[in-house]
A and B are shown apart, each in its own frame.
Chain A
Amino acid sequence: MTITKDDVKYVANLARLTLDESSIDMFADQMAKIIDYVDTLNQIDTTGVAPMANAVSLNNAFREDNNTPHLDREKTLANAPDKEDGFFIVPKVIG
């Protein structure tokens, strides 16, 4: 499979990554090789095989709907790069 520079840029944008030109070339080349290898999966007939999402088939893990202690606000904000008055601060969202 050919992975073009535009393919890499498109996926990078979805993943909120910006890449310089040399990285785009490198990733396009490496992804093409890895995806070619992954395409060997098409040698297997999987008609009617159920997909496996998890190793243990647990049903929903329910619990009683009780109040339990949680991190307080100060601790929740302890690692925030920017905060004010008990809130996370982010750069301007629109415009």
Chain B
Amino acid sequence: MSRNKRHSKSRLNDKAFRIVGLVCTISALIILGILLVDIFSKGFNRINWSFFKSLPSRHASQSGILTALAGMSSLIFFTIIIALPIGILAGVYLEEYGKRNRFAKFVEINIANLAGVPSVIYGILGLTLFVRMSKLGNSLLAGALTLALLILPIIIVSTREAIKAVPGSLREASYGMGATKWQTTSRVVIPSALGGILTGIILALSRAIGETAPLLVIGALVYVPFIPEGPKDQFTTLPIQIFNWTSRPQAEFIVNAAAGIIVLLLITLLLNGIAIYIRNRWYKKMRY
């Protein structure tokens, strides 16, 4: 009797959890849906051509994201130029050259730690190191150097993953033909791993585009009525512009913020989509 009871109770648990699990999963998706619908309904009508080509203004209806988009593009350009070579070479070194040595192990622990450091702390580092000590001021270059340090762990880790996936037989074939280690690395291993490396770079890019806190800490301006022309110029970015509009009490600026968010989300999701597409294609190829 009691055994039957226990048996039917666990059957009931099973059915109940099937429903609870489904409800929780669907709820998470619905929350994402609500977020997107809320933002699109608030900001979609504000998006027009003049929103893209207007300077920021005291009047919400005349404000645009031209300087924010320009500042963001330049910032990301410099960030990538700085972080890309260092990140890829470091990743290649750790996976291909220093696999078993103590230096590589130490660096690995170190990178795991860096990946967990809050971005606002990178802001404090950039403020002291680049803005004040290197006397770069709150310039594009100071921002790019700060963001480069922030995304370096992402690029290194994904480069390592990509190189790990390259089959050993390719390397052996290259060595067999008398190639040196660097020839093998640069002409066989890196080209085969390119899809995976590229995926990591795009994801790092998407991360850099969405960053706000470290840039606020290094003193990126919230009001920039000009397009930066060189690495020494002051700048603003789209997330900072959105933050500025969000913290205003007037409803018109909230509409602007929502419209800015739609643009930011489209850029971010597009980049993530491209990254996933490249990764899937590359993984198929890697399974020879």
B is a partner of A: no
Residues in chain A within 8 A of chain B (CB atoms): none
